[in-house]
Structure 1
Amino acid sequence: MARPPDVFVRPLSMEEGRKIQRITRTAKDPVKLRRAIVVMMSGQGQSVPDITSLMQVGDDYVRDVIHAFNERGFDALDPKWSGGRPPAISEQVREHICLIARTVPAEWGIIGHSTWSLHTLTEHLLARGVVAAISREHLRRILRKGGVSWQTTTTWKASNDPHFITKMQRVLELYDHPPADGRVICIDEFGPLNLMPRKGKRWRPAGSPARLRATYNRYHGVMHMIAALDLATGKLYYRIRKRKRWREFLSFLKTLRERWPGEKLYVIMDNYSPHKHAQVRAWAADNDVELVFLPTYGSWLNWIESEFAALRYYALNGTDHRTHDEQNAAIGGYVRWRNTRAQPKTSFAASSPIRSWTSYPAKVA
């Protein structure tokens, strides 16, 4: 007996059968997957009631899928999503809303609010007639789609160094192509090292964070750490002292000079006044040490800064040391652990926009 053409798919070629099978295995859209399974089962000779029972769908749905496939072929498997009702707020108004959100209330003569909340922004939009009606959730979705998000205000200290680019290029040149006749060293101070509870993170039972005391006294003063990063090996060298004058700095330079005799040292550092002391400069000139100063307010160019961030995170955060000996031992333990895993430093900010700067941007942030 011939099959009723209205309840079974048309005969499928071998290639069409393989394509249907492939779709049932790889389709990620659930609608397309379900339709492909219906067509495949119908092509295998299963009746509409059988497919309905196995797929847990209605008879009308199965018949509609079969008829659509017989008429349009594989195009019928793709869902045709309807657009829904037209948006109540036009695209132009949405852009205007995002523009207003990026301003501050004071620019509109609103006193007493330094920033918009969803509530105050909604009231402002309604009062100015930008929209006739809008909910806070709708406003939130418009801002999110427009790329406007709630962010913390940050600060930026612009450099007033007229030779910023020249100094930056000198530092980058030393990073990218270390001189064959010497060694590049990054130096900076870290601290002050207080004895205080420091917030941090650790693994704990859910809902039971570790707690540290909230109050403390500075009975034992502070200490200061000066450190050097050797780019050739990636190792850190440091000293912890009670003060950080030019005398302590010069003493540290001398230890570095003794560590690498016969090599010229290129020492990259910021413009802290002890670094520029006359006796420091004179000793450096007499001992084959070139002092390479970073641009003013350009400490972020010092490669050692990232090492300090890691030291603070791993060795100090989450601690509450009661003596400097205890805290210094923790720092020493971290540095030794880190140095056993050190690798030569290469590729400083390789894809950063600073590589293309020809002048200092007026607004870097």
Structure 2
Amino acid sequence: MGLSPEQDTELRRRLRARDLTVSARARLECVRLSARGWTVPEIAPVVEKHEVTVRKALHRFLEGGFEALADAPRGGRPPRWKREDLDVLEAMLDAAAAEGTTWTLPAPAEWLRRERGVDVDSSWLSVLLHRDGFRWKRTRDSLRHKADPALQAAAWERLEGLRLRAEAGEEDLYYLDESGFSPTLPTGFTWARTGIRAVVKREDTKSRRVNVLGALRSRISTERDC
């Protein structure tokens, strides 16, 4: 079975669709492989379908084109959300990851109810987000937003002066640092797209906190004392 250039382009476009169902994708793959010269017995194990199912998919395409490969309408209550609702939610999660805002799973479902007026079960929303490349992943903390470039430049200049004096034997140079430990940890995970790490701007908390100081003597000072 051959495809025209227009049909081949349309086939590729449909295979890239994010909301494509498993069954519809399998039918499109049958058409793609058949157009490349594969036989039905060769296609069946690749798409994990019976040969009869593969032949039905090819016949549906020959008789009705791409539209005939879509899933048949299902009975029961129609979905209570639309693709555009999920697109808006995902755009919001992308913006949240860029801003360092964390979202646990119940929160996006509640956001859809409040902002879009649609009801999606949290477990099903997790499946939908996974389909679109989102994962429940660890965040990364950052204190860079607290840095003052002017103060940093002045500190580096002063430190360089101290280092030079230590090399000249005029000063004993020690490096002092402080680290804080809090028994209450912030949310360390959020929903974010694959390849995106949400950077959370860490602020001081009013909870119980333990600070530890450490000092390191410069090697230059040690060598001067020997």
Q: Is the shorter-chain TM-score for this pair beyond 0.5, marking a shared fold?
A: no
- What TM-score bracket applies, with the shorter chain setting the length? 0.3 to 0.5
Judging by fraction of residues, say which structure has more helix: 2
Q: TM-score, normalised on structure 1?
A: 0.23
TM value normalised by structure 2: 0.35
